[in-house]
Amino acid sequence: MLKKLILTIGLAVALAAPAHADPQKFSDQAAATKFCKEGHVVWYNPDSKIYFAPGSQFYGKTKNGGYTCKAFADKEGYRATKGN
């Protein structure tokens, strides 16, 4: 009985937690540009939850990042870099 109660509470907590996912990732910049249109592609870093605009220091360079649309990154709670 106690096991069922604990399991039920654990399941309820897991379902109540907001699901956080990474933005849609494209295989390369050209694919992202084709979908998002020119000027709307960013490079996101899932470790820091930051995205970088083209021309910035880390655009296309972080280890675990990917290309996505700026709108997708914003929707998933990523924020624009404050630096280069």
Q: What is the distance between the alpha carbons of residues 69 and 36, in angstroms, rounded to a whole number?
A: 5
Among 1-10, 24-33, 37-46, 64-73, which is the least confidently predicted range? 1-10
Q: What is the distance between the alpha carbons of residues 35 and 31, in angstroms, rounded to a whole number?
A: 6
Quote the pLDDT of residue 23: 82
Give the confidence band of 1 by pLDDT, cuts at 50, 70, 90.
confident
Q: pLDDT tens digit string along 25-51? A: 898 999 999 999 888 999 999 999 999
Quote the pLDDT of residue 3: 66
Q: What share of the chain is helix, strand, coil (3-state, %, to 5)?
A: 35, 20, 50
Question: What's the alpha-carbon Rg for the chain, to the nearest Å?
Answer: 17
Quote the pLDDT of residue 53: 95
